Amino acid sequence: MVSINGTLLFQFINFFVLVAILAKFAYKPLLKVLEDRRNKIASDLSDAAKAKETAEKMRADYEAQIRDARAEAQAIVDKAVKQADKEAQAQLEAIRDQIAREKQIAQAEIANEREAAIREMRKEVVNLSMAVAEKLLKKNIDSDMNAKLVADCIDQIQTQRVKGN
Amino acid sequence: MELHAGHHVVVQLLGLNVNLDTLMMTWLVAALVIIVTVSATRGRSLVPSGLQNAMEMVIESLLDQFRETLGPKYGQVVSVLLTMFLFILFANELGMIPNPEILASPTNDLNTTVALALVSSFMVHFMALKNQGFKKHFKSFFKPFAPFVIINLMEEITKPLTLAFRLFGNILAGEILLEVLYFLVPIGIPIIWLVFSLVIGLIQAFIFTILTTSYLAPSFADD
């Protein structure tokens, strides 16, 4: 049952023949496939990493662009608001000017009116004085009385002018 | 009863006594290994399926072991180690087909296992001479110090001896027990032992290959 004979030699040779056949027809292609697969996986991984990097960069670009656009829009709005403010201010200024002008005109008119009124009154007073004088002259009055009358009359006129001013 | 397992038909071939049944079984196993391995690798597609997938799984796990133990130069011996594993595995499992008159494992013959163990041993020394040089390899027998040369030399003999006898013993014992069980209890029990033996066949193939790999490790060490 346990004996060594010539089979040993044949088995030795058999084994090496088998190794040679398998190495040529099986292992070489198999190892090549395994190697190819390892390379492919490695290259796929690196491709994926590259793609991710590109995507990352694109995203950063887009974000920057959005940021720029937003800033630009804000600037435009700011400018428009400022412009509107300026215009409103200018209009307000113009209206104020006009009001001031009209006030001046009105004041001048009022002054003229008053002037005219005073003139009218003075004329009236003179007429009145004349009438009084006439009445008094018709009576017999002394020179003292006359002088007093004239002085009173002048006083009265002056007082009125002071009041008018 | 009369046992079939372990008995051989001896004939004269080229002036040598040879066990004809062992040789025939060896060629059958070799043919099976070639057919399965070549057909598993013939598709050669990058995305494997079916047989190629299973084969690649087995071989890749073995390659991982080799790479781990031997380092990047493992390609020098990968063909021998893979063939060792596949041949022993197929040989062990073929003997489990239950009719010992026709089918017996070639590994139940000591001639086969000794031949394989010698291949392992020769390969170890050949690779040591190739990778480490004669001087260094010669010196390694006198380590850690000179008197150890006796133990080291004995180890070089016991290594292939244990490899050969472990495989031979496991497979022959398995076959004998299977035959005896069939004789005693034809139904049930032998199936359990059969399944167990299939696992043993795989484990023995793996042990033989991995031990050879670890014996090779010093030849591949770069220090």
Contacts of B79 in chain A (CB under 8 A): 19, 22-23, 27
Distance from CA of A53 to the nearest CA of B (A): 27
Look at residues A122, A21, A113, A137 and name the one whose alpha carbon lies nearest to residue B80.
A21
Please work out, in degrees rounded to the nearest 5, the angle formed at the alpha carbon of residue A121 by the alpha carbons of A119 and A126: 95
Any idea which of A36-45, A54-63, B146-155 has the lowest mean pLDDT? B146-155
**Residue A27, CA distances (Å) to A13, B20, B55 in order:** 19, 29, 11
Compare CB distances from B79 to A5, A27, A37 and report the shortest one's residue.
Answer: A27
Report which residue type is found at B128.
A
Q: What is the largest CA-CA distance in chain B?
A: 61
Tell me the two tokens of residue B58.
């087995």
Give the mutation candidate from A3, A10, A24, A27 for the B interface (greatest B CB count, under 10 A): A10
Average pLDDT score over residue span A140-148: 70
Average pLDDT score over residue span A72-93: 95
Bridge partners for B12 per DSSP: B17
Contacts of B28 in chain A (CB under 8 A): none
Distance, first Cα to last Cα, chain A: 159
pLDDT value, residue B75: 75
A141 pLDDT tier (thresholds 50, 70, 90): low
> Is the confidence metric ipTM above 0.85 for this complex?
no
Compare CB distances from A37 to B26, B33, B46 and report the shortest one's residue.
Answer: B46
Please work out, in degrees rounded to the nearest 5, the angle formed at the alpha carbon of residue B166 by the alpha carbons of B127 and B66: 35
Average pLDDT score over residue span A14-42: 82
| A7-21, A33-47, A96-110, B107-121 — most confident range | A96-110
Compare CB distances from B111 to A5, A25, A29 and report the shortest one's residue.
Answer: A5
pLDDT value, residue A102: 95
* Cβ separation A5–B10 shorter than 8 A: yes
CB B105 within 8 A of CB B175: yes
Question: How buried is B118 (Cβ within 10 angstroms: 0-12 exposed, 13-18 middle, 19+ buried)?
Answer: middle
A165 pLDDT tier (thresholds 50, 70, 90): low
Compare CB distances from A8 to B13, B42, B115 and report the shortest one's residue.
Answer: B115
**Is the pLDDT confidence value at A65 over 80?**
yes
From B19, which residue of chain A is nearest by alpha-carbon distance?
A7
For a pLDDT cut of 70, what percent of chain B falls above it? 89
**Is the pLDDT confidence value at A62 over 60?**
yes
Q: Which residue has the tokens 């590109």?
A: A54
pLDDT value, residue B55: 77
Tell me the two tokens of residue B6.
């372990």
**Is the pLDDT confidence value at B100 over 60?**
no
A98 pLDDT tier (thresholds 50, 70, 90): very high
Contacts of B110 in chain A (CB under 8 A): 2-4
- B144 prior amide bond cis, ω within 30: yes
* Cβ separation A17–B30 shorter than 8 A: yes
Tell me the two tokens of residue B10.
């001896």
**Is the pLDDT confidence value at B42 over 80?**
no
Contacts of B48 in chain A (CB under 8 A): 33
A56 pLDDT tier (thresholds 50, 70, 90): very high
3-class DSSP string for A108-155: HHHHHHHHHHHHHHHHHHHHHHHHHHHHHHHCCCCHHHHHHHHHHHHH
Radius of gyration of chain B (CA): 20
Radius of gyration of chain A (CA): 62
